[in-house]
């Protein structure tokens, strides 16, 4: 205004450079028609006036545009708007950035004198301020437009509060979707108090304290729940709040971003409900075994809290001897794409360790990279015990089968040697196989730690050979005398031979015959271990011809007098007297017997 009021007819104009620094746009001066004519003037060393001044970074003074050849294309403009002299000055900010130009137009040809240049310098500095403010204003407008567009499109809630009053001054449309209220309703009255009232009572204090921290200059993130007034629905939100400072550094505004976590929380709750309903111990991990979450089952079983299991904390619940193998398994997990481990995990209730099979499946992103692991630990302690027992049983079965085959082979050889013909061999062999089968039947009915007892064995043999002769038999001795597994088969065969001969030739085959079987348990005189003493005594019989009796009892007698001492370290005696057979057998038995004394 000062320049335009000068008596020399001087006029001025300001131009601003675009963001690329390639063209000038008219800002003010010389009227709207002139502005339209020169708007977009090129900045280049090949142009003139303001475009040349900005390109060179120095003033361009043209005394008379009509006499300057460079102005020939633009002389029509000078004539139409009545100027002859044109001075152009680049406008530079205090930071040294060229942002535009300042021009003076004169109605007559005009040279630049020192006074004119001083005035131009003042005007240029003024222009720098004007243009800078203009650009800042334009940038602010563009920034507000971008923020508005971002806020309109964002599904997250963006808001701004005044730090002093905590009142909202800006809300994006997402507020209406999340809170179920219009922005006009939310911004009315004491909207900070109204906002707190929407938060469920359990979370209000936390939210209030978080806002207070932001007002003190801190950045805060917190989760909370609101109850929508329209439908009463509960929604989870996560706020990220931050201070906005003024020129003095004081917190003037509080900005915030509210993210709706409801769907995520509901999914998480369903996931937790599912995980907590599974009998296995469930966990999540990242990297090479760093846990990020453990299930309630893990916490209850081990006694370790969920936060304490994070990272490598879970390793403290693994048996010390298994920790190295656990680390090794994790070191190979990413390379193999799977994790599998059998280890012992501490059980709080019993203060012991049990075997678990632990497996984890990788969760991958779209590129195939592993982002986390989902793992389960399943109790296999009883399974391992069963597998171990199965191994023992298989080994025992193999051992017994080999022994049984050897016994059958020996029976066949012995029976064949004592048989008159094939029919006699078949009858004898079948009879002895049945006795052997009864023993195996007794053994097969026992549990792992059980033993065949002598009273079961003797009763089984006597009942098998002649169940109707109970009136002629007297059994006397303690019950429950447990026999060593290695002795049962051979002892049973010996008793079978005695019983068979008694039916054929002795007490169980004659009307007046009587059989008494006594047994007792006594400690050994040498080492004190328990021994079973068996006495078989027949009476009231007529002795058959010697040749017949000898033929019938040869195998049984050999078994008693030779096999038992050799195989079982037994002490035996066998006497065939006038009243019948009198046999004594003493063998070591299992350490746990009901009593050493008290036999009848």
Band of pLDDT at residue 600, cut at 50, 70 and 90:
very low
Tokens (6 digits) for 38: 């020169």
Q: Is residue 269 part of a domain?
A: no
Which domain CATH number covers 199? 3.30.450.20
In a domain, 375, yes or no: yes
Which pTM value belongs to this model?
Answer: 0.41
Enter the tokens of residue 546: 């010697």
Domain boundary among 264, 279, 310: 264
Residue 390 is predicted with a pLDDT of 84
C-alpha to C-alpha distances, 597 to 174, 407, 478, 594, nearest whole angstrom: 93, 34, 8, 9
Whether 219 and 250 share a structural domain: yes
Q: What is the pLDDT of residue 366?
A: 85
Shared-domain flag, residues 406 and 358: no
With contact defined as beta carbons under 8 Å apart, do 292 and 306 qualify?
no
- Residue 538 placed within a domain: yes
Q: Tell me which residue range forms the domain holding 327.
A: 292-379
SS3 for 310? coil
Q: Specify the range with the lowest mean pLDDT, choosing from 430-444, 454-468, 579-593.
A: 430-444
User: Quick one: 123 and 179 in the same domain?
Assistant: no
Residue 274 lies in a domain: no
Regarding whether 28 and 71 lie in a shared domain, the answer is yes
Tell me: do 545 and 426 sit in the same domain. yes
Residue 71 sits in a domain whose CATH number is 3.30.450.40
- Collect all residues with Cβ–Cβ distance below 8 Å to 481 and sequence separation of at least 6: 453, 454, 455, 519, 521, 532, 589, 593, 594
Residue with tokens 């399974």: 383
Domain C-terminal end among 141, 170, 185: 141
Per the structure, the count of domains in the chain is: 4
CA distance linking residue 295 with residue 290, whole number of Å:
15
78 and 186 inside one domain? no
What DSSP element (H or E) covers 408? helix 381-418
Average pLDDT, the chain: 85
In a domain, 172, yes or no: yes
Q: Are residues 297 and 354 in the same domain?
A: yes
Q: Is residue 281 one of the residues assigned to a domain?
A: no
The strand pairing partners of 583, in sequence order, are 536, 574
Kindly tell me if the per-residue pLDDT of 312 is higher than 90: yes
State the pLDDT at residue 140: 80
CATH of the domain at 575: 3.30.565.10
Judge whether residue 429 has pLDDT over 60: yes
Q: Are 55 and 189 in a shared domain?
A: no
**419 domain-assigned:** yes
Reported as a pLDDT band with limits 50, 70 and 90, residue 400 is low
Contacts with 236 (C-beta within 8 Å, 6 or more apart), sequence order: 223, 224, 225, 260, 261, 262, 264, 265
Q: Of 349, 379, 409, which residue is a domain's last?
A: 379
% of the chain residues with pLDDT over 90: 46
Same domain, 419 and 528: yes
pLDDT-based confidence at residue 573 (cuts at 50, 70, 90): very high
pLDDT recorded at residue 552: 44
Same domain, 113 and 171: no
Contact 71, 83 (CB under 8 A): no
Do 38 and 91 fall into the same domain?
A: yes
Is 5 contained in some domain? no
Residue 274 has a pLDDT of 66
Phi-psi group of 37: left, alpha or beta (phi > 0 → left; psi -120 to 50 → alpha; rest → beta)? alpha
pLDDT tops 70 at residue 137: yes
* Residue 179 and residue 85 share a domain: no
Across residues 137-162, what is the average pLDDT?
A: 80
* Encoded tokens for 204: 């209000």
């Amino acid at each position: 205004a000062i320049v335009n009021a000068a008596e020399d007819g001087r006029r001025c104009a300001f131009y601003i450079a675009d963001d690329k620094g390639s063209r000038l746009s008219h800002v003010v001066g010389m009227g709207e028609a002139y502005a339209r004519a020169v708007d977009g003037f090129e900045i280049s060393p090949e142009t003139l006036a303001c475009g040349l001044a900005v390109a060179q970074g120095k003033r361009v003074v043209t005394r008379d545009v009509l006499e300057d050849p460079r102005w020939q294309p633009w002389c029509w403009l000078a004539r139409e708007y009545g100027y002859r002299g044109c001075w152009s000055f680049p406008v530079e900010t205090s930071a040294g950035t060229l942002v535009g130009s300042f021009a003076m137009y004169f109605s007559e040809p005009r040279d630049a004198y020192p006074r004119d240049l001083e005035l131009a310098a003042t005007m240029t500095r003024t222009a720098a301020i004007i243009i800078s403010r203009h650009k800042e204003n334009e940038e602010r407008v563009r920034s507000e437009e971008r923020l508005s567009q971002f806020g309109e499109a964002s599904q997250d809630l963006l808001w701004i509060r005044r730090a002093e009053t905590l009142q909202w001054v800006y809300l994006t449309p997402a507020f209406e979707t999340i809170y179920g209220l219009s922005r006009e309703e939310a911004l009315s009255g004491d909207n900070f108090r109204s906002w707190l009232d929407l938060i469920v009572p359990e979370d209000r204090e936390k939210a209030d304290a978080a806002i207070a921290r932001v007002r003190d200059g801190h950045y805060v993130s917190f989760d909370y729940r609101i109850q929508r007034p329209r439908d009463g629905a509960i929604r989870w939100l996560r706020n990220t709040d931050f201070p906005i400072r003024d020129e003095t550094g004081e917190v003037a505004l509080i900005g915030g971003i509210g993210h709706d976590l409801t769907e995520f929380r509901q999914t998480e709750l369903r996931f937790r409900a599912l995980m907590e309903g599974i009998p296995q111990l469930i966990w999540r991990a990242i990297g090479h075994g760093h846990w990020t979450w453990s299930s309630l089952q893990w916490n209850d079983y081990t006694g370790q809290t969920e936060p304490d299991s994070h990272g490598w904390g879970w390793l403290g619940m693994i048996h010390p001897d298994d920790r190295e193998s656990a680390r090794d398994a994790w070191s190979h997990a990413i390379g193999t794409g799977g994790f599998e481990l059998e280890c012992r995990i501490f059980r709080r209730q019993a203060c012991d360790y049990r075997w678990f099979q632990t497996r984890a499946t990788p969760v991958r992103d779209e590129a195939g990279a592993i982002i986390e692991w989902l793992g389960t630990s399943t109790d296999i302690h009883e399974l391992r015990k069963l597998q171990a027992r199965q191994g023992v049983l298989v080994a025992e079965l193999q051992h017994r089968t080999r022994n049984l085959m050897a016994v059958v082979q020996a029976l066949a050889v012995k029976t064949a040697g004592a048989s008159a013909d094939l029919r006699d061999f078949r009858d004898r062999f079948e009879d002895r196989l049945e006795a052997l089968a009864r023993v195996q039947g007794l053994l097969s009915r026992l549990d792992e730690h059980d033993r065949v007892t002598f009273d079961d064995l003797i009763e089984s043999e006597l009942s098998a050979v002649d169940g109707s002769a109970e009136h002629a038999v007297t059994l006397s001795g303690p019950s429950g005398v447990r026999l060593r597994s290695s002795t049962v088969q051979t002892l049973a065969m010996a008793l079978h031979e005695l019983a068979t001969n008694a039916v054929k030739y002795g007490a169980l085959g004659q009307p007046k015959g009587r059989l008494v079987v006594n047994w007792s348990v006594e400690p050994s005189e040498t080492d004190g271990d328990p021994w079973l003493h068996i006495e078989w005594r027949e009476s009231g019989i007529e002795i058959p011809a010697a040749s017949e009796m000898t033929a019938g009892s040869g195998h049984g007698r050999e078994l008693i007098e030779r096999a038992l001492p050799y195989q079982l370290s037994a002490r035996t005696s066998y006497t065939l007297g006038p009243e019948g057979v009198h046999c004594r057998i003493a063998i070591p038995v299992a350490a746990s017997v009901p009593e050493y004394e008290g036999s009848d």
